[in-house]
Copies of this chain bind each other. A is one copy, B any other.
Amino acid sequence: VTGLPAWLNGKLVADATLSASDRGFLLGDGVFETMRTAGPTILWLDDHLARLRAGADLLGIPLDRNPTEIADGLAELVAVAGLEHGALRLTLSRGPSAGRGLVPPLDPVPTLLASIAKLVPAVASVSLVVAKSVRRNEGSPLSRAKSLNYGDNLVARREAILRGADDAILLNNRGLVTCATVASLFFKLDGRWVTPPVGDGVLPGLARQRLIGLLGAGEESVQGAALAHVDSIMLSNSLGLSAAVSLDGRVFVAENFAQLSARLFGGP
């Protein structure tokens, strides 16, 4: 798709293909990470690999390659791509099925795939709506992992676009705010930064964790109704920061997070 190579099961390949029986495709049986690269450097690599392994453990997917092997493979891909700023995705699935149904093969051959694309700078300012069509599942451990099951997020994003917005905020089934479709959320409430806690159904984002420290943000449950009183909204993920310009039509003075972004990701 990008014209760039991929790294698949230990080898650089020009056109990566998968078995159509891959359980990542059939069942969402896998996890992934998205990493920011700057020249040859992969930001926060150790933390990304640790979170990938935690997600794999949750699903019981073996990750036989050790972190050094994976890091070497990713470095090779990043070098060949030669991008100034890249978005590097590493996906692990349980690999091809041995038969029908949910029971995993006794001897799985996992798929480990890395692909890279030019980093498109995060949109500086986005319009948001609160999703009406779907809630985040606070009762699933996968809400706190980065699994391949992005269906609910796709439904929310689709709703946002159909309503003329850029992205959606998802509430959980208790009406508490969780995240946007591909980003953690920070709210300024009475001059303080607040972000929803992981227990409400939130991915423990790597940018999120660092921003909690940088901003002195509190991890606090936020009722959907409290969104009427926030003064500023920041979206964060491992690729960048954005500011909300509006929420359900209410307009904000979007803050400029360029300096904060430079502190978080390095660079000028």
Give residues 1-48 of A contacting B (CB, 8 Å).
Answer: 1-2, 6, 8, 15-22, 24-29, 32
What is the chain B residue whose CB lies nearest that of A117? B100
Nearest B-chain residue to A148, judged by Cβ = B28
The CA-CA distance from A157 to B91 in the complex, in Å, is 22
Q: Which one of A70-78, A138-146, A252-260 is at the B interface?
A: A138-146
Contact with B along A114-154 (1 / 0, CB 8 A): 01010010000000000001111111111000011111111
Is A97 part of the binding interface, using a Cβ–Cβ cutoff of 8 Å? yes
CA distance A6 to B89 in the complex (A): 29
Looking at the complex, which one of B115, B148, B161 makes contact with A21 (CB distance below 8 Å)? B115
Complex CA gap A137/B147 in Å reads 16
Copies of this protein in the assembly total 2
The interface residues of chain B lying within 8 Å CB-to-CB of A138 are 173
A142: chain B residues at CB < 8 Å are: 134, 151-152, 155
A173–B176 CA distance with the chains assembled, in angstroms: 13
Is A210 in the interface zone, CB < 8 Å from B?
Answer: no
**Distance (Å) between the CB of A261 and the closest chain B CB?**
18
Q: Report whether B100 and A151 are in contact in the complex, using a CB–CB cutoff of 8 Å.
A: no
Q: Is A230 an interface residue (CB 8 A)?
A: no
Chain B residues within 8 Å of A163, by CB: none
Q: Would you call A184 an interface residue if the criterion is a C-beta within 8 Å of the partner chain's C-beta atoms?
A: no
Interface residue A63 (Cβ < 8 Å from any Cβ of B):
no
| Distance between A65 CB and nearest chain B CB, rounded to angstroms | 17
- A149 with B182: CB separation less than 8 A: no
Per the bound structure, the CA–CA distance linking A161 and B14 in Å amounts to 39
A249 interface residue (CB < 8 Å to B):
no
Q: A17-B18, A98-B1, A137-B140 are in contact. Are A26 and B148 (CB under 8 A)?
A: yes
Within the complex, the shortest CB–CB distance from A223 to chain B, in Å, comes to 16
Inter-chain contacts of A21 with B (CB < 8 A): 1, 16, 115
The answer on a CB contact under 8 Å between A6 and B20 is yes
Check if A20 sits within 8 Å of B154, measured CB to CB.
Answer: no
Q: Tell me whether A225 is interfacial, beta carbon within 8 Å.
A: no
Beta-carbon contact of A22 and B19 below 8 Å = no
